[in-house]
């Protein structure tokens, strides 16, 4: 069917191999989204649902923002593409300046990628390039953390710590990667905000440094709040301790802020929220409000300078870093991201998220009494509701998701945890609606 007379319901679902999906099940009982506006989605049966996870954390500003659509369309009319290698266009520099105004001081050199995974892969490569530029080429090891999620290319899969993502691909993963234990401790059940206990989990990094030689480790990467495995909040003092251990051994600290970046915690970045500065940070998703793929790595100025200085003497036109993507900072993504920056500023959006978060967290924790709920965790405008495991991991999470979808609230489950992350434009009545529908969906699941 030509795109001009495309319908909401395709003739065949067979050919599209869907990502991270139970394809067989989905195709028997599809859930197709046809329209999105503000905080609401409509599916192919005409059912209206509230979007309780900002579309995988992508659209905190709401769906269908005219300012973004118009900026993208204007950009397409003027300059639809230009190659990003040894050429450029003004917008990407303007955007870099604006991003650097919001990142922690000194983390002000901006490398564009295509998505979160490529941002993580790029951060890994920059870490290696930096150490080599300093003459320290023995640092090849990386440290990740169990239950971490950093994306799905080989580098990001390796430093991630979710077993199902790794099992099939074990033979092709990066060598030299160790994992710290996660911080998902039994006493953190139903804890609101940062747990008081668990700071000692950071000593795993020291232990790995002792076992493998801190001088061999290039970088340690963590999500300040682990998002995909159900909102695991760092215990008080944990991130600070990681920073201290990294400094002691000359290890770079990478914060993966693909989820926590751009206001999810109530500050622009979790780094500022928790008062710990990494050396590199990654972002994606909300950078363009999800409408055009884009990833970003923000890098300490000293790292950039070191890599650039190390190539002096090379012939003109030689890249200092042999890395980049055809779609690094392309005009259409930049246009969307600049429009997003305008909205962030005009609507003081991070403040709005911060002000709404206690109301959201109270609502989330009000679900504590539900029968099958075994834990609730949350921070800022993100939260995880963990369901009691039934037979096998993931079964109760998915069944609950389906009951909630029927009740009119959409989100994503990871395993048995429901990932809830409302849009920052939500008013109290929208938060109430999310919580009410979650209550209905979870209760219906319990009765089923
Ligand atoms: C923390 C984190 N890092 C990286 C990624 C990968 O991003 P993408 O799917 O855009 O490649 C994700 C995706 O959810 C993420 O949550």
pLDDT band for position 2 (50/70/90)?
A: low
* Ligand 1 atom nearest residue 226's Cα: 1
Tokens coding 432:
């109430």
Pick the residue whose CA is nearest to atom 3 on ligand 1. Answer: 150
Residue with tokens 């979650």: 438
Residue with tokens 């600070």: 240
Angle CA(196)–CA(192)–CA(362) in degrees, nearest 5?
A: 160
Contacts of 427 (CB under 8 A, 6+ apart): none
Tokens coding 317:
């036109």
Q: How many CA atoms lie within 13 A of 28 on its CB side?
A: 3
Percent of the chain with pLDDT over 90: 95
Q: Which residue from 9, 128, 20 is spatially nearest to 419, judged by alpha carbons?
A: 20
pLDDT in tens, 275-320: 999 999 999 999 999 999 999 999 999 999 999 999 888 899 999 9
The whole-number pLDDT of residue 1 equals 45
Ligand 1 center–CA 315 separation, angstroms: 37
Ligand 1 center–CA 258 separation, angstroms: 6
| Length in residues, the chain | 448
* Ligand 1 atom nearest residue 256's Cα: 1
Cross-strand pairs, 134: none
Residue 325 to residue 241: CA distance in whole angstroms: 35
pLDDT in tens, 45-61: 999 999 999 999 999 99
pLDDT band for position 180 (50/70/90)?
A: very high
Count of Cβ atoms closer than 10 Å to residue 402 Cβ: 17
Tokens coding 415:
């395993």
pTM score above 0.85: yes
Q: Are strands 417-420 and 107-113 parallel, antiparallel or unpaired?
A: unpaired
* Ligand 1 atom nearest residue 56's Cα: 14
Ligand 1 cavity residues, CB under 6 Å: 115-117, 120, 149-151, 223, 227-228, 256, 258-259, 284
Ligand 1 center–CA 55 separation, angstroms: 13
Ligand 1 center–CA 151 separation, angstroms: 5
pLDDT in tens, 63-121: 999 999 999 999 999 999 999 999 999 999 999 999 999 999 999 999 999 999 999 99
Q: Which position has the higher pLDDT, 10 or 424?
A: 424
Cross-strand pairs, 384: 377, 419
Ligand 1 center–CA 260 separation, angstroms: 11
Q: Which helix (H) or strand (E) holds 239?
A: helix 238-249
């Amino acid at each position: 069917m030509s795109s001009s007379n495309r319908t909401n319901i395709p003739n065949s679902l067979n050919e599209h191999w869907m990502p991270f999906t139970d394809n067989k099940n989905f195709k028997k009982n599809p859930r197709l989204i046809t329209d999105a506006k503000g905080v609401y989605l409509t599916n192919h049966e005409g059912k209206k649902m509230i979007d309780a996870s900002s579309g995988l954390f992508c659209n905190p500003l709401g769906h269908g923002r005219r300012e973004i659509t118009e900026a993208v369309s204007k950009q397409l009319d003027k300059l639809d593409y230009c190659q990003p290698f040894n050429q450029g266009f003004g917008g990407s520099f303007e955007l870099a300046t604006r991003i650097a105004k919001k990142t922690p001081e000194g983390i002000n050199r901006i490398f564009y990628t295509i998505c979160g995974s490529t941002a993580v892969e790029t951060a890994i490569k920059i870490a290696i390039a930096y150490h080599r530029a300093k003459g320290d080429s023995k640092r090849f090891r990386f440290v990740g953390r169990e239950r971490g999620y950093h994306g799905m290319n080989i580098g990001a899969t390796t430093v991630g710590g979710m077993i199902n993502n790794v099992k099939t691909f074990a033979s092709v993963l990066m060598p030299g990667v160790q994992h710290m234990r996660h911080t998902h401790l039994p006493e953190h059940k139903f804890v609101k905000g940062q747990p008081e206990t668990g700071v000692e989990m950071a000593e795993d990094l020291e232990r790995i440094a002792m076992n493998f030689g801190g001088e061999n480790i290039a970088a340690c990467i963590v999500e300040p709040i682990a998002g995909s495995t159900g909102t695991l909040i760092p215990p008080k003092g944990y991130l600070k301790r990681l920073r201290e251990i990294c400094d002691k051994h000359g290890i770079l600290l990478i914060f993966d802020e693909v989820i926590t970046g751009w206001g999810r915690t109530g500050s622009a970045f979790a780094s500022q929220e928790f008062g710990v500065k990494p050396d590199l940070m990654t972002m994606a998703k909300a950078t363009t409000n999800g409408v055009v793929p884009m990833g970003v790595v923000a890098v300490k100025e000293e790292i950039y300078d070191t890599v650039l200085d190390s190539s002096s003497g090379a012939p003109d036109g030689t890249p200092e870093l042999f890395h980049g993507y055809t779609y690094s900072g392309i005009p259409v993504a930049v246009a969307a991201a600049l429009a997003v920056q305008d909205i962030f500023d005009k609507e003081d959006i991070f403040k709005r998220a911060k002000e709404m978060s206690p109301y959201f967290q109270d609502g989330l924790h009000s679900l504590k009494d539900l029968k099958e709920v075994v834990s609730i965790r949350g921070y800022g405008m993100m939260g995880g509701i963990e369901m009691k495991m039934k037979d096998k991991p993931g079964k109760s999470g998915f069944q609950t998701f389906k009951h909630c979808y029927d009740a009119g609230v959409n989100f994503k489950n990871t395993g048995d945890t429901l990932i809830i992350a409302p849009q920052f434009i939500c008013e109290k009545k929208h938060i109430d609606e999310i919580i009410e529908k979650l209550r209905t969906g979870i209760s219906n699941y319990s009765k089923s």
